[in-house]
Amino acid sequence: MTSTLDLGVHSLRAAYRGGTLTCRQVVEEVLARIAQAGDDKVWIARMPDEALRDIAAALDGRRAEIESLPLYGIPFAVKDNIDVAGLATTAACPGFAYTPDHSAVVVQSLIYAGAIVIGKTNLDQFATGLVGVRSPYGVPRNPFDAAYVPGGSSSGSAVSVSSGLVSFALGSDTAGSGRIPAGFNNIVGLKPTPGLVSTEGAVPACASLDCISVFALSCADANAVLDVVATPKITPAIGKSFRFGVPKPLEFFGDSAYAHLYAEAVEKLKAMGGTAVEFDYTAFRDAAQLLYNGPWVAERTAAVGAFLEEIHEGAGVWPETRQIILGGREYSAVDAFEGQYELAELKAAAAAQMAGLDFLALPTAGTIYTVGQLRQEPILYNSHLGHYTNFVNFFGLSALALPAGFRADGLPFGITLVASANTERALLAFGAKWQRAVSLPLGKTASTLPPAALDPVVVEDRVSIAVVGAHMSGLPLNGQLTALGGRLESAAVSAPIYRLYALPGGPPFRPGMVRTADGGGAVELEIWSLPSAAVGAFVSQIPAPLGIGTVVLGNGSTVLGFLCESHATVGAHDITGMGGWRAYLKSLA
């Protein structure tokens, strides 16, 4: 690196806000770092230097808009199977190249947010491979050891982030291309739920499975990008106590160092409050095999098979890529349907294994290979790298690759958290805690994690309910709340406009709170919250004359809460003066 400038998204935003940095300075720093990196095989095409300077100057003129531009002045790279207007899209095949008039939807969203496209990055041709060596543009240099593969297919994107050339990068992920390169480059790789981020403007590999992925140095940075390109659904957070899956059997292809690092990662997860639960990996492994040894290869043929069959000499087609993609011609429509039936069975079996788990904690890869080894066994070793990745999009899941340590020879190891659909925010929030717990370098850079206050936060879809009697903590009906995911948020009091009565009947004995025009008092409450999806089930358990209405709190705010029909209080004991149900129960002791 030419300076100590931290290109982390949040670090740059802090400097921009503080007036200590300009977009022009950042662009000049990026250009200097690219020049210093030399022929690292990261880039297939770059924006002209002067064009970048012009973009930076225009953004410097919009400094007053920084709060409305969440990625203001943030440099990023784009995998060269994703369109950027004015730059050729090659998918790492020179003969396939075309120059789009419009950027992919995801790229345009980032540009609108103020981010700066630096260029298009190298990849395994047609995004077919997990190794990063299947490209006529060369092998992007693994920043930890150039003798080893950078991982693919999003090789150049991962290396550009790990090497500190850009703040973040876009990749794609069909079978693990957004995770394997993250693991081999010591960075974060976010693979969203299929369909969450638009793939319009990306060259398809398997269109039904393709995802746009994000590479970043930190989970906080990846979250900032996700906020711009998608609207993640609201899901529960991963709690302080959690259950995570450990696959059985484990496979490390003879790599004892990776096996040891994985065992250490499991112990670290336990130390963070986790309970390790072994699960049968068979259904996941069998689904992974379908991708390259089943009819889904034909979807790759549908994407670019016609081009590969018509190519002329000098088009730059990689032999293994051609062999794999055109292999889809061997499958019939019957094979495709039978594959779907098999996948449905495997998906059901996998769901049963994941039941009760917050996430699976898998090795991102079971081992890493040298470039030379891949030349000797290009197909077999590539399939080894997909052992823990290929199934994820088949099952419609979310995944997050995280740095997890280093072998004695300095090569990084990573784990991947895999969870149900639309849990990106929960995974990123947990991943941020993981990064702070393991305290590893960020890529191959001197960057540091952003302040903890900027870590992702799960905004849950929960409904607050004020309870005044037997549903309070420790009392007989509290289990109705906790069984539905209820959580005690705070103690409170009502506004002094209610009367509280001990209702006849029981057990359980219950109070009734009624709003009154005069003579009321403040009543002790507890504010609980429930997942919104559970509110109906809770309300259905409430018998007349009680119900849920609007309760005014002592601070003037309102919340849903228990109220009683006034007719039921005729002849009931007025206990308003005691201040609440607990005090009344104490008076009976």
Burial class of residue 386 in the structure, from the number of CB atoms within 10 Å of its CB (0-12 exposed, 13-18 middle, 19+ buried):
buried
The catalytic residue among 11, 41, 79, 447 is: 79
Q: Which residues contact 62 (CB under 8 A, 6 or more apart)?
A: 69, 72, 114
Q: Specify which residues 76 forms β-bridges with.
A: 117, 168
- Return the bridge partners of 464, or none: 529
Partners of 558 in the beta sheet? 552
From 201, 205, 118, 206, select the one nearest 167 (Cα to Cα). 118
Q: What are residue 205's phi and psi, to 5 degrees?
A: -105, -75
Active-site entry in 160, 177, 213, 494:
177
Instruction: Indicate if 177 belongs to the active site.
Output: yes
353-371 per-residue burial string, b: 16 or more CB within 10 A, e: under 16? bbeebbbbbbbbbbbbbeb
Q: How far apart are CA 6 and CA 315, in angstroms?
A: 40
E-strand spans in 249-308? Answer: 274-280
Contacts of 401 (CB under 8 A, 6+ apart): 178, 179, 180, 182, 183, 188, 189, 190, 191, 364, 414, 415, 416
Three-state DSSP at 284 gives: helix
d(CA 538, CA 560): 13
Two structure tokens written together for 303: 């994407």
Sheet of strand 487-493: strand arrangement = 487-493, 524-531, 462-467, 558-564, 546-552
Q: Which single residue is written with the structure tokens 């899956």?
A: 245
CB atoms closer than 10 angstroms to residue 254: 9
Residue type, 322: R
Catalytic residue among 11, 109, 135, 153: 153
What gap in Å lies between CA 177 and CA 392, rounded to an integer? Answer: 11
List the catalytic residues.
79, 153, 177
